[in-house]
């Protein structure tokens, strides 16, 4: 990632060297940008007009653009009475949410205000966000479209309105405790105290960084102020179908962050594997294959189905730890070992412990399920510690 700072002097003068950058102000405005060259001049003018002189300010653009947005920012910076920094990322890890995290790491002020670069978030609200946080002692102040005085007027068309409302409902249903008191978890406009940010625990995917912050490291005290979501000034919306899929994957990753939640999701995925298993069993037996080899062959269809869903939904962020072929073989061995283990375990429970067949079978299913989950997580998707430790030892030598 290249790091370029632009700091204005007198109007029209060239930017001064980084060594002359003044001490950070009271608020750092973090703006993630992706091809927003048509918006940044207007945005900086609006920020200049909105932020009073008594509130020292700095603006950090974290840019993932493929157009001339960084050049436009540098050209506009001398017209601003406060420091303007451009951080251009060569590899945009985490999308716009990842860009915000980079900006938070670079911020030096007590307050960080996050806003979009398309002028749909009114900069005139920046002083109120900070003042509300100071007055209430809140660690997070959310600009909400869904409290009295707020509006989503800038959302273009009924389709986008419906998608926004559905996403809000879904996230609040999935995280009722973490999002309690936040009416607009989809908002990209908020202020947070720098002391409340633990960047190391954040793993954003896409552009819904407020949801990431609220779920992984939510401040204890949260308040909201209303805002009117305005129309985009220039450029195109980043709310694409691809971003929608990234959002759903992000939700799944957040919801399954705890071991218990992962186990529940693992079980639901396992249950879904009965469908391809039974369909294959019917096809094999209808074709005249004996039911025993048909059972073994059909089980592989369920194993493959479960593996694909686990790869896409539950352990997507852990796939890098092992080669796909290694993961495939390990998972297949664990899944088929479940069948081999279950029958002797049922016999043991019935013969040695006197359980009836049905409760013994149910208990065996629970035991083998827990073992299968633990084995999958530990043997398929966790990093290989020995090799990592060996590499570390060699690098230290």
- Rounded to 5°, angle at Cα 160 from 159 and 164: 120
Q: Give mean pLDDT, residues 390-395.
A: 44
pTM for the model stands at 0.64
Of residues 55 and 83, more confidence is placed in 83
Average of pLDDT values for 121-147?
A: 90
Q: Which two tokens stand for residue 90?
A: 């060569």
User: What is the pLDDT averaged over residues 231-255?
Assistant: 65
**Banded pLDDT at 5 (limits 50, 70, 90):** very low
Residue 179 pLDDT exceeds 90: no
Query: Looking at beta carbons, which pairs linking 326-331 to residues 24 or more positions away fall under 8 Å?
Result: 327/380, 327/381, 330/379, 330/380, 331/303, 331/307, 331/376, 331/380
pLDDT single digits (tens) 38-69: 888 999 999 998 888 777 889 999 998 888 88
Of 138 and 358, more confident: 138
pLDDT at 105: 87
Question: In the CATH scheme, what architecture does the domain 2-255 have?
Answer: Alpha-Beta Complex (3.90)
* Residue 368 structure tokens: 């083998």
How far is residue 155's CA from residue 245's CA, in Å, rounded to a whole number? 20
What is the rounded distance in angstroms from the CA atom of residue 63 to the CA atom of residue 100? 10
Residue that the structure tokens 């398929």 belong to = 380
Distances (CA, A) of 56 to 134, 140, 307: 15, 19, 53
pLDDT at residue 28, as a whole number:
93
Tokens representing residue 128 in the block: 């109120």
Instruction: Tell me the domain boundaries of the chain.
Output: 2-255, 259-391
pLDDT at 24 over 50: no
* Residue-level pLDDT at 146: 87
- The fraction of the chain above a pLDDT of 90, given in percent, is 14
Between residues 153 and 165, which one has the greater pLDDT?
Answer: 165
- Give the pLDDT of residue 284: 86
141 confidence band (pLDDT: 50, 70, 90): very high
pLDDT in the model for residue 267: 84
Q: For all residues of the chain together, what is the average pLDDT? A: 78
Structure confidence by residue, pLDDT tens digits, 348-363:
888 888 888 777 877 8
Mean pLDDT of 119-142: 90
pLDDT in the model for residue 215: 82
| Average pLDDT over every residue of 30-37 | 88
Alpha-carbon dihedral of residues 215, 219, 223, 224, nearest 10 degrees?
-40
């Amino acid at each position: 990632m290249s790091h370029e700072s632009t700091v204005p002097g007198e109007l029209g003068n060239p930017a001064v060297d980084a060594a002359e950058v003044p001490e950070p102000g009271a608020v750092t405005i973090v703006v993630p940008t992706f091809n927003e060259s048509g918006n940044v001049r207007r945005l900086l003018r609006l920020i200049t007009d909105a932020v009073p002189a008594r509130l020292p300010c700095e603006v950090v653009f974290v840019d993932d653009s493929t157009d001339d947005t960084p050049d436009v920012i540098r050209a506009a910076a001398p017209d601003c009475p406060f420091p303007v920094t451009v951080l251009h990322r060569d590899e945009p890890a985490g999308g716009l949410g990842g860009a915000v995290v980079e900006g938070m790491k670079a911020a030096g002020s007590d307050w960080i205000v996050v806003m979009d670069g398309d002028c749909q978030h009114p900069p005139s609200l920046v002083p109120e966000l900070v003042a509300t946080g100071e007055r209430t002692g809140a660690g997070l102040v959310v600009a909400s479209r869904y409290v009295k005085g707020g509006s989503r007027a800038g959302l273009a068309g009924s389709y986008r309105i419906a998608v926004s409302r559905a996403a809000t409902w879904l996230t609040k249903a999935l995280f009722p405790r973490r999002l309690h008191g936040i009416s607009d978890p989809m908002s990209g406009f908020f202020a947070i105290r720098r002391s409340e940010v633990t960047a190391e625990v954040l793993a954003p995917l896409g552009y819904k960084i407020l949801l990431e912050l609220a779920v992984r490291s939510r401040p204890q005290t949260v308040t909201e102020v209303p805002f009117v979501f305005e129309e985009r000034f220039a450029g195109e919306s980043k709310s694409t179908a691809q971003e929608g899929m990234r959002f759903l994957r992000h939700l799944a990753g957040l919801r399954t962050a705890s071991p218990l939640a992962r186990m529940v999701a693992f079980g639901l995925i396992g249950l879904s594997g009965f469908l391809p298993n039974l369909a294959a069993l019917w096809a094999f037996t209808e074709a005249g294959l004996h039911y025993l080899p048909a059972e073994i062959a059909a089980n592989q269809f369920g194993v493959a189905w479960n593996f694909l869903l686990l790869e896409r939904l539950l352990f997507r962020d852990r796939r890098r730890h092992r080669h796909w072929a290694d993961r495939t073989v390990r998972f297949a061995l664990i899944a088929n070992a479940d069948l081999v283990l279950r029958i002797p375990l049922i016999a043991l429970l019935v013969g040695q412990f006197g359980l009836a067949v049905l409760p013994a079978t149910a208990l065996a299913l629970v035991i083998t399920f827990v073992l299968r989950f633990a084995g999958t997580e530990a043997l398929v998707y966790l990093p290989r510690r020995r090799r990592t430790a060996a590499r570390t030892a060699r690098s230290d030598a």
